[in-house]
Structure 1
Amino acid sequence: MYDAVIIGAGVVGSAIARELSKYRLNACVVEKEEDVCCGTSKANSAIVHAGFDAESGTLKAKLNVEGNAMMEQLSKDLDFSFKRNGSMVICTDEAGFSVLETLKARGEKNGVPGLEILNREQLMALEPNLSDAVIGALYAPTGGIVCPFNLTIALAENAAVNGVEFKFGTEVESIGRTDSGYTVTTDQGTIYAKTVVNAAGVYADKFHNMVSKDKIHITARKGEYCLLDKNVGNYVSHTIFQLPSAMGKGVLVTPTVHGNLLVGPTAADIEDKEATNTTREGLDFLIEKAKESVKDLPIRQVITSFAGLRAHEDGDEFIIKEVEEAPGFFDAAGIESPGLTSAPAIGVMVAGMIAQKLGLEANPNFVGTRRGIPHLDAMKQEERAALIRQNPAYGNIICRCEMVSEGEIMDAIHRPLGARSLDGVKRRVRAGMGRCQAGFCSPRTMEILHREVPLSMLELTKSGPGSEIVVGRSKEMEGM
């Protein structure tokens, strides 16, 4: 029997797993997809919010500010990309200044440091490509950008190294009560656990409602994005928000930690919790909307578009607590924006509740640091040369757009919770994320997966079962 089973291997589930691994316990994470970071966590704005949006006194406000404060040290401990680039909420008319004043006052009450309202002259000195219509903005120096893939993977890898088991391709079908805890029935068998953590994203209402008469309802809120090439990645240096609405923080324009420019998201409530397709209408809307923030948006430099789903709960608040009528069942539900920012703090909060519930002791062997995959493109020439001398595979470039080597892909495969698909490799080392969008590097990456895992070519997938790439053999493929 496990002490704890966590449903969901997104950023929240992985953060909880990592915090639980600081205690002596037997824990596992179950995930229906083939890897970590396959749901909401893989398709979002990649923003570390400062914390002025959420209403004071809410969990969203508290955990946003706490998570923001944790992110820099966590990025050093776990070796993932994070930059405190600062954010701006712009306004285009005099009435907008009252909204900025409200956000500033709210942020100060929430504990956000350094907030300042800037006039157009001050803004143009910082961001010369702002729209001519912009007349002021709320500036938050603690806003940041992060790699959501590497944040989630780093948390999960560190949890795994410290003893947490991960079960991929394992879909939870039902949850039942026992005298000693819970039965979690999956399509791969039954798991027995003293406690259950519900970190299932857009499906968290489904599992909550299996154990509680007090029902919750989560709506999938779709957000569509455009990603622009690195040659325009410095078009803005801060994250540029528009005034928020009831549906969210609006369309933003932001650099990414990898040097691209990101535009989005839209916000549309949908019924299908798997509908991550983009739409012509959605992309046209966000492109036009983004022009209100920046002038001459270089939209011809778009290299891809994508969509993600946020888990919007009807109460518009994080639900993080032990379910009253189901002792030992802990919700981490309704985790929409600022969920990515809040995830480290959510991990501490939930793990603390479970530790208290079970009377857990500290794990004296906990290892709190992790080294990521070395990226040649970010190294100095002498560092690169030394790494290639140590392992010549790092001198064989597979993805030319992102300058990803064979050695990096091999590292992605052989790490704890290593990649088993093209998307798994892409999330870890960015092979296929460049301008050609995997048009040239996919066959070579497949060859490396085939050799290193090993997997037959017929077993190789883009993103798990159902996305197989090769559907038959030619004579040249015999034996592969």
Structure 2
Amino acid sequence: MYDVIVIGAGVSGCACARELSRYKADILVLEKEEDVCCGTTKANSAIVHAGYDAAHGSLMAKLNVEGSRMMPALAKELDFAYDQCGSLVVCVSDEDRPALQKLYENGVANGVEGLRIIEREELVAMEPNISDEAVAALWAPTGAIVCPFGLTYAFAENAAKNGVKFQFDTTVTGLKPIEGGWQVETDHGTLETRLVVNAAGVYADDLHNMVTGEDPLTIIPRRGDYFLLDHTAGAHVHHTIFQLPGKYGKGVLVTPTVHGNLLVGPTAIDVEDKEATATTAAGLDEVRAKAGIAVKDIPMRQTITSFAGLRAHEPRHDFFIGEIAPGFVDCAAIESPGLSSSPAIGVMVADLVSRSLHLEQDPTFDPVRKGILDPKTLSLEERNELIRKDPAYGQIICRCESVTEGEIVDAIHRVPGARSLDGVKRRTRAGMGRCQAGFCSPRVMEILARELNLPLSEVTKAGGQSKIIVGTNKDVY
């Protein structure tokens, strides 16, 4: 019997696992996909929100501010990309100034540091490409950007380093209370645990409602469409640019990314299908139409890809975290600002679990994780020395992002490591560039096959049946 089973390996589940690994406990993370970071976490705005938007007094507001404050130190401890570039909420009409003032006052009440309203002259000095209609903005210097993949892998790898086990391609099909804990039924057999953490993203309501008929959760998948622009557009804005929030959230944003791209989106479209991550023409048209409200002359012709993600929206618009039955802890309805809140979510859940199970802290816990070495960050002398020691770091596999074979091999052999093209892409950016893996895919496939001792025909794009080839030319002769 495990002490804790965490269901879901998104950023919330992995943050919980990492914080729980501070205790003496046998912990397992179950994930229905082939890797961590395969659901909501892999397709979002990559923003660390300052915390001025969530309703004052809500759990969402509390954890957003706490999580945002934790990020700078955490980025150093776990070695992931983070840039405190600040954010601007743009007001394009004097009639909307009361709403901007209200947002400012809400942020102050939430405890957000450094907030102030700036006028057009200062705004244009900060952002030359701001809309000609912009009259003022809310400036939040604690706003930031992050790599959502890097953050999640950092949590997961540090959790694994401290003894947490991960089991992928495993779907939870049922939950049954037993003496001293829970029986967790899956499509790969039955497991037993003293306590369950429900971090199942858009499926968290299904698990919640299996456990209790009181206060049922209803999670509505909310689709967001995005455009990702090339590095050539990355400096079009220098801060994250929001529009004043409306009925469906923060509207379409324009932001640089930590990797030098420009991200535009998302929409907020409620759907029924919890796997409906395909973009639509209407959704992308909406992004194009709204993006120019706050930022002018966006070079949309520099788009290299579009994508969509699902947010786990609950109509009451708050996080649901708590022990709803003996040995069953919800970590549910984690929509935006869930990424920003994830460090604090992990701490809150770990505290609940440790008190429920009377866990002891583990003095051997190691909080440090070292990320994948990027040779581009080294001096010429250091890089040459690295290549002398390991020639794989001299072999460029992805030309667009200058990713080496050494980085890909490192990504594969980490725990948990890459097992697919997408797993490599999210960890190293091989395939993230302008050609969108058109050049490097065959070489990455060969490296995966070699390092995992697989036939080339078994290498997948994203696990499951997403195989890329069916055989080798002339192999039938």
Provide TM-score, normalisation by structure 1: 0.98
2:142 equivalent to 1:142: yes
Query: Unaligned regions of 5+ residues in structure 2, if any?
Result: none
The residue correspondences of 1:234-245 to structure 2 (distance < 5 A) are 234-245=235-246
Partner of residue 227, structure 2: 226
Partner of residue 274, structure 1: 275
What secondary structure, in the 3-state scheme, does the structure 2 residue paired with 1:473 have?
A: coil
Partner of residue 329, structure 2: 330
Instruction: Give the C-alpha shift of residue 382 in structure 1.
Output: 2.3
C-alpha distance in structure 1 between counterparts of 2:380 and 2:91, whole Å: 44
Partner of residue 89, structure 2: 89
1:350 partner amino acid: V
Residue-by-residue CA offset, 1:126-173 (whole Å, 9 max, x unaligned): 000011111110000000000000100010010011000100011100
C-alpha distance in structure 2 between counterparts of 1:454 and 1:338, whole Å: 40
2:462 partner amino acid: S
Residues 189 and 126 of structure 1: is their aligned pair in 2 closer, same or farther, counting only changes over 3 Å? same
Partner of residue 35, structure 2: 35
Instruction: Give the C-alpha shift of residue 381 in structure 1.
Output: 2.0
C-alpha distance in structure 2 between counterparts of 1:59 and 1:267, whole Å: 22
What secondary structure, in the 3-state scheme, does the structure 2 residue paired with 1:112 have?
A: coil
2:51 partner amino acid: G
2:31 equivalent to 1:18: no
Instruction: Give the C-alpha shift of residue 295 in structure 1.
Output: 1.1
Instruction: Give the C-alpha shift of residue 388 in structure 1.
Output: 1.1
2:406 equivalent to 1:407: yes
Partner of residue 162, structure 2: 162
1:71 partner amino acid: M
Give the number of aligned pairs. Answer: 476
Partner of residue 251, structure 2: 250
The residue correspondences of 1:339-354 to structure 2 (distance < 5 A) are 339-354=338-353
C-alpha distance in structure 2 between counterparts of 1:249 and 1:80, whole Å: 26
C-alpha distance in structure 1 between counterparts of 2:382 and 2:356, whole Å: 48
Instruction: Give the C-alpha shift of residue 379 in structure 1.
Output: 2.7
C-alpha distance in structure 2 between counterparts of 1:393 and 1:473, whole Å: 26
What secondary structure, in the 3-state scheme, does the structure 2 residue paired with 1:458 have?
A: helix
Instruction: Give the C-alpha shift of residue 383 in structure 1.
Output: 2.4
Partner of residue 420, structure 2: 421
Partner of residue 69, structure 1: 69
C-alpha distance in structure 1 between counterparts of 2:217 and 2:284, whole Å: 31
What secondary structure, in the 3-state scheme, does the structure 2 residue paired with 1:475 have?
A: coil
2:39 partner amino acid: G
The residue correspondences of 1:388-467 to structure 2 (distance < 5 A) are 388-467=387-466
Partner of residue 80, structure 2: 80
Partner of residue 199, structure 2: 199
Residue-by-residue CA offset, 1:399-456 (whole Å, 9 max, x unaligned): 0000000000000001111100000000100000000000000000000001111211
1:386 partner amino acid: E
Partner of residue 127, structure 1: 127
C-alpha distance in structure 1 between counterparts of 2:378 and 2:136, whole Å: 39
Instruction: Give the C-alpha shift of residue 240 in structure 1.
Output: 0.1
Moved more, 201-210 or 285-294: 285-294
The residue correspondences of 1:182-197 to structure 2 (distance < 5 A) are 182-197=182-197
Partner of residue 474, structure 2: 475
Residues 298 and 197 of structure 1: is their aligned pair in 2 closer, same or farther, counting only changes over 3 Å? same
C-alpha distance in structure 1 between counterparts of 2:143 and 2:476, whole Å: 51
C-alpha distance in structure 1 between counterparts of 2:171 and 2:262, whole Å: 35
Partner of residue 297, structure 1: 298
Instruction: Give the C-alpha shift of residue 476 in structure 1.
Output: 5.5
2:372 equivalent to 1:361: no
CA contact (8 A) 1:231 1:260 kept: yes
CA contact (8 A) 1:216 1:314 kept: no
Residue-by-residue CA offset, 1:3-61 (whole Å, 9 max, x unaligned): 10000000000000000000000010000000000000000000000000001110000
C-alpha distance in structure 1 between counterparts of 2:298 and 2:245, whole Å: 21
Partner of residue 152, structure 1: 152
2:395 partner amino acid: N
Instruction: Give the C-alpha shift of residue 110 in structure 1.
Output: 0.5
Moved more, 259-268 or 454-463: 454-463
Instruction: Give the C-alpha shift of residue 70 in structure 1.
Output: 0.4
Partner of residue 377, structure 1: 376
Partner of residue 264, structure 2: 263
2:376 partner amino acid: D
- C-alpha RMSD over aligned residues: 1.0
1:442 partner amino acid: S
Q: Percent identity?
A: 61
What secondary structure, in the 3-state scheme, does the structure 1 residue paired with 2:63 have?
A: helix
C-alpha distance in structure 2 between counterparts of 1:439 and 1:157, whole Å: 29
C-alpha distance in structure 2 between counterparts of 1:270 and 1:383, whole Å: 50
C-alpha distance in structure 2 between counterparts of 1:254 and 1:202, whole Å: 26
C-alpha distance in structure 2 between counterparts of 1:391 and 1:353, whole Å: 45
Partner of residue 287, structure 1: 288
1:126 partner amino acid: M
C-alpha distance in structure 1 between counterparts of 2:109 and 2:357, whole Å: 35
The residue correspondences of 1:315-326 to structure 2 (distance < 5 A) are 315-323=316-324, 326=325
Instruction: Give the C-alpha shift of residue 273 in structure 1.
Output: 0.4
C-alpha distance in structure 2 between counterparts of 1:477 and 1:65, whole Å: 61
